[in-house]
Amino acid sequence: MKQSSLLGLVLLLAACGGTTAAPGSAPATPSSALAKPAASAAAEPSASAKPAASAASAGVKPAASAGAQGQPIKIGFVTDLTGPTANEGKDNLDAFNLYLESLDNTIAGRKVQIVTADAAGQPDTALTKTKELVENQKVDFLAGFNFSTECFAVAPYAAQAKIPMVIVDNCAAISLGLDPRLNSPYLVRLTASSSNGGGAAISRWIYQQGARKAIMLSIDNAGIQENADSYAKPFVDVGGSFVQELHPPINTTDFAPYVSQFDQSADSVIVFEPSIAGLRFGQAFASYQPKVKVYDVLGGPTNGPNLLGLKDKAAGFIGQQSWSPAFDTPMAQTWNKAWLAKHPDRPYQSIDTANGYAGAQIIVEAIKKLNGNLDDKLKFVDTLFATDMETIKGPMKVDKTRNTALQNIYIFEVDKSGDAAKSRVLQTIQGTTTPLPSVDELSKFPYGKLKGKWVGMTKQGLDELVK
């Protein structure tokens, strides 16, 4: 989804997804990549994971706040701690905890207790674990969430259970903030979606750099397809075109078969490959060295942990994020020092650590404004929506209409050394002043339903899709 960094994209690409289909689209074929490491291929997600399904058990009530009695605030943190995106979930959780630890795990006089649950990249698992947190652990609110399809599964349940669901990792699908089956008064996204205008601004910038014939390389995932569509539309709108689409399964371990078949007429590849998939793409690209410019719009190969593995193999790649390791503000210095002291094995931070830390900053300020009283759940959510503050990622607000964070985007080029801290910022897109797409346009355009339809797509064709 960074005055924090450039590594982010607002979106998405953040918009991590899962294996179930987005609302209104056909179910995606489940992938074994989303299973736990020892598990076999994932079974077709059940109806409980689909946004239109009934989500809550009858009579479920969230735990009443115990602020008056001085009991701890219990936060149910749902994220991916195993599976192909476990590094994203762990980074996000550890950064979230790091900020709370800096406050002695105390907000407004109340101790804070984090109860974690591993969604493992599976929508059904995310829903089951969430029910356990709400119904048995009696958490005050939910946080975390990585794949959009996990959010698709959990959001209807959170609404029916009347428990705040605070997204602090990814879940960047546009539909999450607009589809009435998903969006509710209890859902707030403190990370970015293309509905904040960032995706369009990035795509126009890519076109201005000379990209005309692009390859779309995105994992085969419903949530990420929404993001891919949200970048592709403005690119075609300004005159760009796609000459090839490739959609590897999320469990792809070898990207050589994909990179080796890149269309030779292409001048660029727009990459939507999160987590370890981004690393594997970078390794294959270095082996074949196709003559295309790499634009990583999802925080994949150019994300800090992946750069640690790729080093100079990613030299020249263009990335975008809402935070940058090159920032040297007092807040960033304090954060980096604390992080390295606790996690010396992870010297490069990521968009996921930035999202987790910034999310904790915002949540803490909201609880302080309420003097630690979380009895009124909707008041808590509204206080989060009223965010207007400086975070580790820079200035942040939250647009309630589209349910998305408004934050800066930093477009950068990876240094020839591959050192993330030496990445050169090429463009800063001001998140709080970027024009927002209209809700009408966001609602009418079939985001997430255009897989396999971008090759040969024209501006006229785009216009026909919304008639």
> pLDDT tens digits, residue range 223-257?
899 999 999 999 999 999 999 999 999 889 999 99
Q: What pLDDT was estimated at residue 67? A: 52
d(Cα 146, Cα 390) in Å, to the nearest integer? 23
pLDDT in tens, 114-144: 999 999 999 999 999 999 999 999 999 999 9
d(Cα 85, Cα 106) in Å, to the nearest integer? 30
pTM of the model: 0.83
Q: What is the mean pLDDT of the chain?
A: 86
Residue 464 tokens, joined: 């026909």
d(Cα 303, Cα 307) in Å, to the nearest integer? 6
Residue 138 tokens, joined: 């009696």
d(Cα 206, Cα 212) in Å, to the nearest integer? 9
At 397, phi and psi to the nearest 5?
A: -130, 175
Beta-carbon count within 10 A of 69 CB:
7
Close Cβ partners of 331 (under 8 Å, ≥ 6 residues apart): 390, 392
* Residue bearing tokens 């971008």: 454
Residue 275 tokens, joined: 């987590």
Instruction: Work out the average pLDDT over 403-429.
Output: 89
pLDDT at 460 over 60: yes
d(Cα 365, Cα 370) in Å, to the nearest integer? 9
d(Cα 71, Cα 63) in Å, to the nearest integer? 12
Buried-exposed string 307-323: b where 16+ CB fall within 10 A, e elsewhere? bbbbeebbeebbbbbbb
- Domain coordinates in residue numbering, the chain: 196-324+408-465
Helix (H) or strand (E) segment spanning residue 296: strand 293-296
pLDDT at 58 over 50: no
Query: What letter would DSSP give residue 403?
Result: T
Instruction: Work out the average pLDDT over 301-314.
Output: 90
d(Cα 70, Cα 199) in Å, to the nearest integer? 44
Paired strand residues for 407: 396
Within 13 Å and on the Cβ side, how many CA atoms surround 156? 22
pLDDT band, residue 22 (cuts 50/70/90): very low
Q: What pLDDT was estimated at residue 37? A: 33
Best CATH choice for the domain 196-324+408-465 from the list 3.20.20.70, 3.40.50.300, 3.40.710.10, 3.40.50.2300: 3.40.50.2300
Instruction: Work out the average pLDDT over 286-313.
Output: 92
Sheet holding 388-391, edge to edge: 388-391, 394-399, 404-407
Beta-carbon count within 10 A of 127 CB:
27
pLDDT at 64 over 50: no
The fraction of the chain above a pLDDT of 70, given in percent, is 85
pLDDT in tens, 431-450: 888 889 999 999 999 999 99
